[in-house]
Every structure is written in structure tokens, then in C-alpha cells.
């Protein structure tokens, strides 16, 4: 692909002879004109003896500089301010070469090649200014004709009178795309911006009419039908404030896509949409250390388990940005694997990936994959994650979340995998649920393996991700769509929330930072009340809480907490190079102790003995408070368990 692009650039003057000829005329004319201020002799003799001799030499240098900086890869009708840098570089290179030529051609034999310094400077300004002016004129003609074509088109759309909130970069881009286009859905009447110094100014030909405090007046005076929020990197609290103002007027509020959506090519600025709950909870975009991530992922074989899940699939999308050698998509759900494969084929055709139907706990199948493909980086996102379901399926939680993690970790060490990243959860902190406890044990297992193998094992903890399959946001959306009451367990319940892209980006960054044995904890911001979330989602749907859609309180379910924590009591958080990633200094178990723990859990799982599993969790995790089921009296299982508890002295409290 790159070779074809270079070939096309190389024969540019053959494809666009008129443009090439126009550049020749400008460069030649500029050089001739540059001599006029210094001429005090006969024009005819001077031009024939000196100017015409130097002309090919000067023009060749200037053309060479233009090709060197890639000026001829720029399509004229799309020339932008960013492209000015290219022409400035070319002008600087040509000027330096000509000045050096004047120094080196100092002998009488080469006297005719000496271009005066004043002529060089005047010629540079005229030549490159003329080239830029020609391209800007071409763009003007293109945009003028484009607007006329739209104006004459029969496919006109009914445009809504719109105010744009935010006269910054995003707002300017949106206004530029919309103004004068007959097919645009927005009739932009003006900007509002809380920067008072912008009031009265003009952005992309659209006037800044006031601040958000003037919204009600402007909506009334200009018959505004909608307000579009176009603020660069808008915070959730800012969006919420503007929404409240719009509701009070009332006028419909919409928003431009997030920078993350635009950066990944999913949408354009002009594709405005309704405000979503993710916008209200959004924070600053994640700043990534790309150099570190390229070293971590570029040209590596990357394996992602749970590839069809919410986190697994987003991890894959993020990994594609760093040109891995191969991405192995491990997923046991056929339809989910089909979906992510289809998306990758369409959106990332240049990425090398391989869909593999496999259960992460199936040793023969996973060994076959490791043997054949030798993964260098592993993201283990496959897990049972639903708290109430795992309370009813205790043995399955241990098998999938603990045993499968142990198997993958051992295979990674055996086959020389460099990095292994476990996707963990804030529910692993002081766990009250089987799901949280199983993830905490998985962390312990990996820390034990980190002492045995050269592989760097690490875990990353974070809270709820917005929009993940089976999470609260999709459930609330479904209930609102059906007109059913939204079910909230407790009015005081809070949770940490993070968007799927943000969580996935930070997981990658944590993996790149890890040296082995760490449990990384992500900065989740402030916890959000589930009740507030429900009320916001109802309002964003254009409905009224408790009137159009009711909210029903169902009571806390087994294993749930009123609030989640991000660190175990007594553990210390250490800062990393990234402001949103911390390391929890958590005491580790010895590998032999971990092996003994696993053996007892294997025995309990083989017996499908839920009571014993719960008892073992409470014993091995002193910070856990798992509801126990009383064991039958005078049984062999009870005697074995009691004997083990008496003989062992494991647990974080003693570490």
C-alpha cells in the first residue's frame, strides 16, 4: 500500500500537468521579479547573462525541497493550516541551500552562480507565498462550487435552528461543516461560550452571541429548536449543568461525539447525537504513553481471552492501534466470536488476527494454542462476573475464575510468555460475594506464579464499566424502552463507573508499566449513586422520573455491597508514571501455600460442595465476609476441613 502511494507521488507531474506547470510559472516569475529592486544596468544583457543562467539552478533546488518535505502529497483542494508547516520547511531548506551555494561559488569561474542574499530572501517569500496562495485559491474555488452544488441540489433537508455551545476547536469544526450546506441538518444561528472574551467575536463565520446564561433569551429571540453541546473535552458535570439549563427553557439538547469516538474513526464531528449517560459520567480523556505501548505491543503475538465480551473486544480494538504481529481471539461463545471477527474484518482490514473457539479452562485446547502460536502478551478477560449468578453457581465461579486463570498462567510461564495481565475487579477488595472472592484468589494465584516463572504476571482492578453486557446501564435502557419501572436495589447504593474505552486503555497502559507481581488499581473518580444514574437515564430519554417511569427498590441481593472499595484495608497505594494508575502493595502468599489452597478448592469443587467452598474462602481470605452454609455434622468432609484449618496458618492477616 505504501509503495503504491509513493509511486503515485513520484509521477505527480504526469497526473496533474497543469498544476505542475502553474508551479513552474510561479517559481520562475518569483525569481525574475526578485532581481528587479537591485537592477541598475541594462535589463536585456543582465537577464540573458545572469538571471536566466541561475534560474534552472534555483528552481531545481526549490522543487527538490518541496518533494523532500512531501508538499506534493497534499491534495490542493484540501490544503489546511497544518499544511503551512510543510511549505515553511521547504522554504527554509531551499534558502539554506542557496545561501550555502553563494559561499561555495565564490571563485570567478562560478561567479555567475552567485545569487545575492537579498534576491534569495525576496525570491523565497515570493515563490513559496505564491505556491501557497495558488493552493488556497484552489480550495476556495472548490468550497465555493461545493456549496453551490448543494444549494442547487433537489435533496434539500429541513434544517433546525441551532445554537452551538462552545466556540472552541470542536465547535469551529462543526460550524465550518454545517454553514452553507443545503444538506446539513443544522441551521447554525450562533455560538454561546462562557468565555466572556469571545462574546461578539466570530468563529468560522458564525458570531458568538453570549454565554450559557443567555441561552433562554437567545432561544426565544431566534426561535431555536435545539442546542448542540460542542465543548472540547467537556466534563460530565459541565454537560449536566447545560442540560439542566436546556430543560428549564425548555429546548432539546444534543451533543457532538466524544473525542474518543472521533479519534477512532467511528464518527465525524458533524454526526451529532443525543446526550448519553456516558457523557454525564465522562472525565478527562486518557493520556497514553504511546512509545511505551509500542514497545509493549508492536510486532508482538497478543492473546485475548473473552475476546467477544465487552472488555475483551475493546482491548482488541485498542491493541490494533499498535500494529501487533498477530492477535489471537480466544472465546468459547461462537456468536460473540463471530461478531468481533466480523467487525475486525470490516474496520481493521490490515490487522492480522485469528479467531479461536476455545474455553480458557480447557487444558488440551489451550496447550495446543500456546504450542502453535507462542503468545508474547496475554490479556485474560474471560470470567464469570455476575454477582447474583455466582452466588447460585459457586463451584463454576471457582472453576472459571480461579482454575482457568491458574491454567493460563502456568502455560504462559511454561511457553515463555513475556507479560500476563489479569482483568480483576474492585469486588475483590474485602469480598462479600463469591465472584469477588474468586477474583481475589485469582490475583493470589498469579502473584504466586510470578515467583516461579520469568513471565511478568499482573492484575488490574477497576469497577463497573458503562454499557458492558448485563451491566446496569443496558438493563435500565431496556426497562425504559418497555415502559417498565427501573429496579434499583437500594437508594443508598453507589458504584464506581468507567467507560469501556477508558478502562481498556488503562489496562494496556498498566500492562506496559508492569514488571511482575503488581496489582494495579485504576483511578475510578468519584462513586456514583445508582439512584442518580437511574434518574439521569430517564431524563435523557425525554421522560420524567416517578411520573412517566417509576423507580422500584427491590432490596440488596445476596453477595452485594452498598458501596465498593478500591483497596484492601491496610494496603498502601503507590504512584506510577501514569496519574490514573496505582499499585496496591498487597502481601503475597508463598507458591507452596498457593498450591495447597488450590488443592483444597479442587477437592471441594469436585465434590460440588458449596458449603466447603464458602468455608475455605473465609479461612484463606481473612478480609472476606462470605455467607457460610453450615456443614453437615460428623462428616468426613467436615473432619478434613477442620484438620486443615488447624494445621495451616495462611491468610493476609499473618502476612
Residue 362, phi-psi category: left (phi > 0), alpha (psi -120 to 50), beta (remainder): beta
Classified as helix, coil or strand, 226 is: strand
Pick the catalytic residue: 300, 406, 427, 439? 427
d(CA 602, CA 554): 36
Query: Is the N-terminal amide bond of 112 cis, ω within 30° of 0?
Result: no
DSSP state of 150: H
**Cα atoms in the Cβ-side hemisphere of radius 13 Å centred on 569:** 7
What distance in Å separates the CA atoms of residue 216 and residue 199, rounded to the nearest whole number? 16
Contact 496, 489 (CB under 8 A): no
Q: What are phi and psi of 339, to 5 degrees?
A: -65, -50
Nearest to 520 by CA among 573, 447, 599, 445: 573
The three grid cell numbers given for residue 336, joined into one nine-digit string: 460473540
- C-alpha to C-alpha distance for 479 and 74, rounded to whole angstroms: 51
Grouping H, G, I as helix, E, B as strand and the rest as coil, residue 650 is coil
At residue 199, the 3 state secondary structure works out as: coil
Grid cell for residue 262:
472521533
319 contacts 509 by C-beta, under 8 angstroms: no
Rounded Cα distance between 606 and 340, Å, is: 34
Cell numbers representing residue 583 in the block: 499499585
Residue 44 grid coordinates: 536585456
Separation of alpha carbons 296 and 299, rounded Å = 9
Write out the three cell numbers for 508.
494496556
The conformational region for residue 103 under phi > 0 = left, psi -120 to 50 = alpha, else beta, is alpha
Give residues with Cβ within 8 angstroms of 383, minimum separation 6.
Answer: 306, 400, 401, 423, 439
Cell digits of residue 616: 475455605
Measure the CA–CA gap between 431 and 476, rounded to whole angstroms: 26
561 is catalytic: no
Contacts 24+ apart (CB under 8 A), 97-105: 97/61, 97/65, 98/58, 98/61, 101/57, 101/61
- Burial annotation 565-601 (CB, 10 A radius, 16+ → b, else e): bbbbeebeeeebebebbbbbebebbeeebbebbbebb
**Is beta strand 572-575 parallel, antiparallel or unpaired with respect to 581-585?**
antiparallel
DSSP E strand boundaries for 424-550? 456-461, 464-466, 486-488, 494-495, 497-499, 519-522, 528-529
Positions marked active-site: 427
Amino acid at each position: 500500500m505504501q509503495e503504491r502511494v509513493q509511486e503515485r507521488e513520484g509521477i505527480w507531474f504526469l497526473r496533474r500537468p497543469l498544476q505542475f506547470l502553474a508551479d513552474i510559472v510561479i517559481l520562475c516569475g518569483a525569481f525574475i521579479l526578485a532581481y528587479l529592486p537591485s537592477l541598475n544596468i541594462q535589463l536585456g544583457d543582465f537577464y540573458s547573462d545572469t538571471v536566466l543562467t541561475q534560474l534552472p539552478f534555483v528552481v531545481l533546488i526549490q522543487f527538490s525541497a518541496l518533494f523532500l518535505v512531501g508538499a506534493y502529497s497534499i491534495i490542493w483542494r484540501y490544503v489546511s493550516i497544518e499544511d503551512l508547516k510543510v511549505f515553511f520547511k521547504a522554504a527554509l531548506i531551499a534558502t539554506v541551500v542557496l545561501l550555502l551555494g553563494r559561499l561555495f561559488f565564490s571563485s570567478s569561474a562560478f561567479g555567475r552562480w552567485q545569487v545575492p542574499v537579498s534576491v534569495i530572501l525576496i525570491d523565497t517569500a515570493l515563490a513559496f507565498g505564491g505556491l501557497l496562495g495558488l493552493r488556497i485559491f484552489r480550495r476556495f474555488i472548490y468550497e465555493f462550487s461545493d456549496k453551490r452544488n448543494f444549494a442547487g441540489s433537489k435533496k434539500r433537508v429541513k434544517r433546525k435552528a441551532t445554537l452551538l455551545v462552545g466556540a472552541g476547536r470542536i465547535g469551529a469544526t462543526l460550524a465550518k461543516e454545517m454553514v452553507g450546506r443545503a444538506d446539513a441538518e443544522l441551521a447554525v444561528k450562533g455560538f454561546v461560550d462562557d468565555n466572556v472574551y469571545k462574546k461578539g467575536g466570530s468563529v468560522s463565520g458564525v458570531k458568538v452571541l453570549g454565554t450559557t446564561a443567555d441561552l433562554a433569551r437567545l432561544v426565544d429571540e431566534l426561535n431555536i429548536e435545539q442546542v448542540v453541546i460542542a465543548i472540547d473535552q467537556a466534563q460530565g458535570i459541565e454537560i449536566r449543568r447545560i442540560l439542566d439549563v436546556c430543560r428549564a427553557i425548555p429546548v432539546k439538547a444534543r451533543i457532538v461525539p466524544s473525542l474518543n469516538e472521533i479519534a477512532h474513526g467511528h464518527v465525524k464531528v458533524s454526526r451529532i447525537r443525543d446526550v448519553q449517560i456516558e457523557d454525564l459520567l465522562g472525565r478527562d480523556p486518557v493520556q497514553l504513553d504511546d512509545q511505551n505501548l509500542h514497545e509493549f505491543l508492536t510486532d508482538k503475538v497478543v492473546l485475548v481471552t473473552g475476546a467477544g465480551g465487552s472488555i475483551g473486544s475493546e482491548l482488541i480494538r485498542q491493541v490494533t492501534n499498535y500494529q501487533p504481529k498477530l492477535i489471537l481471539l480466544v472465546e468459547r461463545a461462537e456468536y460473540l466470536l463471530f461478531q468481533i471477527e466480523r467487525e475486525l474484518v470490516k474496520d481493521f482490514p490490515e490487522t492480522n488476527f485469528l479467531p479461536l473457539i476455545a474455553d480458557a479452562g480447557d487444558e488440551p485446547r489451550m496447550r495446543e494454542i500456546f504450542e502453535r502460536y507462542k503468545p508474547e502478551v496475554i490479556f485474560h478477560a474471560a470470567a464469570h462476573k455476575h454477582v447474583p449468578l455466582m452466588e447460585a453457581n459457586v463451584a463454576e465461579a471457582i472453576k472459571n475464575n480461579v482454575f482457568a486463570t491458574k491454567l493460563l498462567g502456568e502455560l504462559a510461564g511454561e511457553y515463555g510468555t513475556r507479560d500476563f495481565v489479569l482483568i480483576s475487579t474492585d469486588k475483590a477488595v474485602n469480598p462479600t460475594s463469591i465472584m469477588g472472592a474468586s477474583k481475589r484468589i485469582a490475583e493470589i494465584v498469579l502473584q504466586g506464579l510470578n515467583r516461579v516463572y520469568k513471565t511478568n504476571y499482573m492484575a488490574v482492578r477497576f469497577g463497573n464499566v458503562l454499557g458492558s453486557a448485563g451491566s446496569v446501564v443496558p438493563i435500565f435502557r431496556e426497562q425504559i424502552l418497555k415502559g417498565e419501572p427501573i429496579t434499583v436495589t437500594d437508594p443508598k447504593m453507589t458504584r464506581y463507573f468507567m467507560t469501556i474505552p477508558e478502562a481498556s486503555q488503562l489496562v494496556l497502559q498498566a500492562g506496559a508499566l508492569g514488571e511482575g507481581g503488581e496489582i494495579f488499581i485504576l483511578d475510578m473518580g468519584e462513586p456514583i449513586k445508582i439512584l442518580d444514574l437511574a434518574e439521569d437515564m430517564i431524563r435523557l430519554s425525554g421522560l420524567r422520573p416517578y411520573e412517566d417511569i417509576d423507580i422500584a427498590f427491590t432490596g440488596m441481593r445476596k453477595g452485594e455491597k452498598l458501596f465498593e472499595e478500591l483497596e484492601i484495608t491496610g494496603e498502601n497505594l503507590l504512584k506510577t508514571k501514569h496519574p490514573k494508575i496505582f499499585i496496591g502493595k498487597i502481601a503475597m502468599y508463598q507458591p507452596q501455600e498457593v498450591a495447597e489452597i488450590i488443592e483444597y478448592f479442587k477437592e471441594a469443587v469436585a465434590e460440588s460442595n458449596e458449603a466447603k467452598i464458602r468455608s475455605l474462602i473465609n479461612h484463606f481470605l481473612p478480609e472476606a465476609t462470605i455467607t457460610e452454609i453450615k456443614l453437615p455434622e460428623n462428616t468426613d468432609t467436615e473432619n478434613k476441613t477442620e484438620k486443615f484449618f488447624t494445621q495451616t496458618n495462611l491468610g493476609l492477616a499473618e502476612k
